[in-house]
Structure 1
Amino acid sequence: MDLSAPDSLESSRPLAGFRILDISSGIAGPYCTRLLASYGAEVLKVERPRLGDGSRRLGPFPGGVPDAEKSGLFAFLNRGKRGITLDVTRSDAQPLLDHLIAASDLVLTSLRPVTANDAGLTFDRVRGISGKTALVAVTNFGQHGPYRDYHATDAILYGLGGPMHVTGHAGREPLRLGPRVVEFNGGMMAAYACSLALFQLAMTGRGQFMDLSLLETQVASHDRQASFVMAAQFTGETFLRMNPALVSERVWPCADGYIDVGYNAVPFERVLAAIGRSDMKDDPRFTSVDARQTPESQAEFIAMFLGWMVEHTMLEAWTIFQEHEIPSGPVYTSKEILADPHFAERRIWDDLAIGEGTFRAPRDMPWNGVPASPSLAAPRLGEHNRPVFLGQLGVSETDLDALIAGGVI
């Protein structure tokens, strides 16, 4: 850790001076280190020679044309980092890897445990190289347990974690919440874990090991699942997916899209007033919760509410519901998110360089009133090989060329 930098915007960020060696790929690990970079950490990303991080091939791409140097996902996940290539699984890469570890305050890896062990990326080895270097391992199932070396995807982890069981309509197959939910949430938890490890390092001078399982971050997430697991132990109750006809918060179609309306904790006469049907407030079908939940009452209310909704735009309906203090909000498309003036006033957008173009991407949470914006664009594959291997590690030009030719770098 180098805390001798002069006072400036970059050096005033909370993680300024910490050096992170990022040996991760995909989403969770790179998102974690992107967050660390946003708050001042110096991150060096290690990619496979020639192939690079798999997210380079996932896109989206400008104009829809695949290009490993123009992936929007890779650019978003890896801005603020320098980048090198090194095949850490090869024995002839180990001396270089050892030097990189020794120069780092924290090493983050997303290698499967069996691969990490074969590559020597264990805490015992890291501690032997430098007792002041922390190691954080971000994997699907953790470093031990019967599933340790199983393969999985984000959707599989979402299902194993429990929420899929209660997502969707009753009588239909379970649904996933959305793409990459577990990986992005896991990346945020990994950033939290890294911050704790760096805090401990600053306090004690000793590196720690943290074993983070993406599956466990989902099981322990602060959503319905945690309380459902406890309820199953307290009462034996297994929560099932709701019947949409009985749900007091749902998505409704309107004239130009969809809007989510939640009226569970709102006096029902207020809902009726919002849609211009105060004349129904004394109707016995709607005067009590039990009365409103009968199939007949639900059918009458849905027909009445839906008839009003389809005659109003999202903005009109949202404005009226908010005037009546009814929780509500449009279901936005990506284009509508970009056009919303609230986000512009809040300055949540940042310029993201991709290839020769510049695109908008969400900023991270401001620090001290200043938006968190890494100054570096995502690295091109092997962009910083020469300054790192020649300048930092002292590799000769001849040896560097040989290592590149041999596929080590």
Structure 2
Amino acid sequence: MTDALDLKVVELAEFVAGPYCGKLLSDFGAEVIKVERPGIGDRARHLGPFAGDRPDPEASGTFLYLNTNKKSVALDIETEEGRTLFRQLVADADVLIEDRAPGELAAMGLGYDDLAAINPGLVMVSITPFGQTGPYAGYRAEHLNLYHASGQGYLLPMWAINLDVPPCQGPGYLGLYDGGMAGATAALAALFWRGSGGTGQHIDISVQHAMMHLERSQLRRYVDDGKSPNRTGKGRLLESLVECKGGEYAVVILSSQRQWEGLWRAMGKPAWGMEPPFDTQKGRSENYHELRKRLAEWAITVTQDELFHAVQAEGSAAAPILTAEGVFRSEQFRGRGHFTEISHPVAGTLEYVAQPTKLSDFDPGPKRPAPLLGADTEAVLGQDPAGRPELSHTGAI
């Protein structure tokens, strides 16, 4: 196995988007130093979920997942002493990840131009709801706002029976993870460019834009057709959601004649499947609602697992809609080593999701637990609070 990446990353970010960007880099071996407010820390520490519903800022499931392999420095950049120490921390960093409102760091003398003056090679990744420019740049937003502002909310639920079913928000903080992934990808691209003779640069990530970018294949249909995509599936013969025995769900694919023939065989070759109007792709599309009804009548007679394996065995495609329990007992995930145990001094031993990538010469993924608040302040800054009472008194560390 190769050694860890020789990269120093400073993370001045909270909650999900910025920390996920840092997590992706830390899991691949970068040294990620997380700057947190003394005594308070990342707000994710206080939001949970908590095991047994017992709040503990050192045992938030959200924080524990997003901050594996990182170091924690308690540092208040609202103080002049804190800003001085922050500049020293960034002076030899490769990447700075930050999620403050546009202009906020510049007002403190910590904007990109200020930091680039002391570190020309710095790649600064700014992740904000709407980016650094545009009429919404100064707006605050939570995941709910961003999900619908991106267009993704309208597209869900994609298999709605009719448009009386209102749009919904994606689960968890899915869109914020999109923003974090965009930030990590852009940071690596900037580092490659710097390594080829370029300089550092400022990367502007809009979470709204990142979310919209991932749904462009559906949203662009407005440009093609002049009307919004229809999430009921009418006139869009690609797939169908069906309920299986036991109340679990699956998706069957209907995008071609070949896919249909495989599904038809898996259903036991019902006569109607090869009779008009269901014997052609055009006929199935024009009679999609009746087709869905017949698929539902078959699916409810088999379990999710039986449907999946039967369709796959016929060379067609189907996907089980896994519950949380289904994900954790999936033989495929277990077979790939998708989960790993890590011991934390407060939260105990927990199972974490590993990185999905498999590299032949490096084992990415979480190996160390999320840090306790300020656990690495002295080691990273060389500042012992007991030995620097003036810094402790001002709240800088």
TM-score by length of 1: 0.87
Contact kept in structure 1, 2:257 and 2:280, CA below 8 Å = no
> Could you say if the C-alpha distance between residues 347 and 283 of structure 1 is closer, same or farther in structure 2, counting changes exceeding 3 Å?
same
The answer on 1:330 being equivalent to 2:320 is yes
Distance 1:293 1:308 in 2: 19
> Could you say if the C-alpha distance between residues 356 and 286 of structure 1 is closer, same or farther in structure 2, counting changes exceeding 3 Å?
closer
Tell me the residue number matched to 2:279.
287
> Could you say if the C-alpha distance between residues 251 and 352 of structure 1 is closer, same or farther in structure 2, counting changes exceeding 3 Å?
farther
Contact kept in structure 1, 2:242 and 2:251, CA below 8 Å = yes
Distance 1:177 1:330 in 2: 18
Deviates more, 1:380-389 or 1:366-375: 366-375
* Post-superposition CA distance 1:16-42 (Å, at most 9, x none): 211111111111111111111111211
- Deviation (angstroms), 1:358: 1.8
Tell me the residue number matched to 1:177.
170
Q: Which runs of 5+ in 2 are unaligned?
A: none
| 1:77-88 superposed matches below 5 A | 77-88=66-77
SS of equivalent residue, structure 2 residue 358: strand
Tell me the residue number matched to 2:301.
311
Distance 1:85 1:382 in 2: 4
> Aligned to 1:372, which of 364, 368, 372?
364
Tell me the residue number matched to 1:132.
121
- Deviation (angstroms), 1:207: 1.9
* Post-superposition CA distance 1:38-85 (Å, at most 9, x none): 112111000111111111122222223221101111111111111011
> Could you say if the C-alpha distance between residues 200 and 89 of structure 1 is closer, same or farther in structure 2, counting changes exceeding 3 Å?
farther
Deviates more, 1:268-277 or 1:249-258: 268-277
The answer on 1:192 being equivalent to 2:189 is no
SS of equivalent residue, structure 2 residue 255: coil
Distance 1:226 1:245 in 2: 16
The answer on 1:259 being equivalent to 2:247 is no
Contact kept in structure 2, 1:76 and 1:352, CA below 8 Å = no
> Aligned to 2:49, which of 33, 49, 60?
60
Distance 2:225 2:286 in 1: 27
Contact kept in structure 2, 1:23 and 1:110, CA below 8 Å = yes
The answer on 1:216 being equivalent to 2:209 is yes
- Deviation (angstroms), 1:223: 4.3
Contact kept in structure 2, 1:110 and 1:137, CA below 8 Å = yes
Distance 1:292 1:54 in 2: 51
- Deviation (angstroms), 1:346: 1.3
- Deviation (angstroms), 1:290: 4.2
The answer on 1:27 being equivalent to 2:20 is no
Tell me the residue number matched to 1:408.
396
Question: What amino acid maps onto 1:104 in structure 2?
Answer: A
Question: What amino acid maps onto 1:387 in structure 2?
Answer: A
SS of equivalent residue, structure 1 residue 372: coil
Distance 1:282 1:309 in 2: 18
> Could you say if the C-alpha distance between residues 248 and 146 of structure 1 is closer, same or farther in structure 2, counting changes exceeding 3 Å?
closer
- Deviation (angstroms), 1:111: 0.8
> Could you say if the C-alpha distance between residues 271 and 407 of structure 1 is closer, same or farther in structure 2, counting changes exceeding 3 Å?
same
Tell me the residue number matched to 1:158.
147
Contact kept in structure 2, 1:220 and 1:226, CA below 8 Å = no
Distance 2:207 2:386 in 1: 41
- Deviation (angstroms), 1:369: 4.8
> Could you say if the C-alpha distance between residues 55 and 239 of structure 1 is closer, same or farther in structure 2, counting changes exceeding 3 Å?
same
Contact kept in structure 2, 1:48 and 1:87, CA below 8 Å = yes
> Aligned to 1:363, which of 350, 354, 365?
354
Distance 1:190 1:246 in 2: 33
Question: What amino acid maps onto 2:391 in structure 1?
Answer: L
Distance 1:202 1:282 in 2: 60
Q: Which runs of 5+ in 1 are unaligned?
A: 1-8
Deviates more, 1:56-65 or 1:334-343: 56-65
Distance 1:102 1:83 in 2: 18
- Deviation (angstroms), 1:122: 0.9
Distance 1:196 1:271 in 2: 43
- Deviation (angstroms), 1:293: 4.4
- Deviation (angstroms), 1:217: 1.4
- Deviation (angstroms), 1:10: 5.9
- Deviation (angstroms), 1:396: 7.2
> Could you say if the C-alpha distance between residues 191 and 119 of structure 1 is closer, same or farther in structure 2, counting changes exceeding 3 Å?
same
Distance 2:146 2:96 in 1: 24
SS of equivalent residue, structure 2 residue 20: helix
The alignment's C-alpha RMSD in Å is 2.4
The answer on 1:347 being equivalent to 2:337 is yes
Question: What amino acid maps onto 1:96 in structure 2?
Answer: L
- Deviation (angstroms), 1:372: 0.7
Deviates more, 1:197-206 or 1:332-341: 197-206
Contact kept in structure 2, 1:350 and 1:363, CA below 8 Å = yes
Aligned residues: 389
> Aligned to 1:240, which of 221, 224, 230?
230
Distance 1:359 1:263 in 2: 40
> Could you say if the C-alpha distance between residues 350 and 38 of structure 1 is closer, same or farther in structure 2, counting changes exceeding 3 Å?
same
| 1:103-122 superposed matches below 5 A | 103-122=92-111
> Could you say if the C-alpha distance between residues 115 and 199 of structure 1 is closer, same or farther in structure 2, counting changes exceeding 3 Å?
same
| 1:85-100 superposed matches below 5 A | 85-100=74-89
Identity of aligned residues (%): 27
TM-score by length of 2: 0.89
Contact kept in structure 2, 1:182 and 1:214, CA below 8 Å = yes
Contact kept in structure 1, 2:237 and 2:254, CA below 8 Å = no
The answer on 1:201 being equivalent to 2:191 is no
Tell me the residue number matched to 2:373.
381
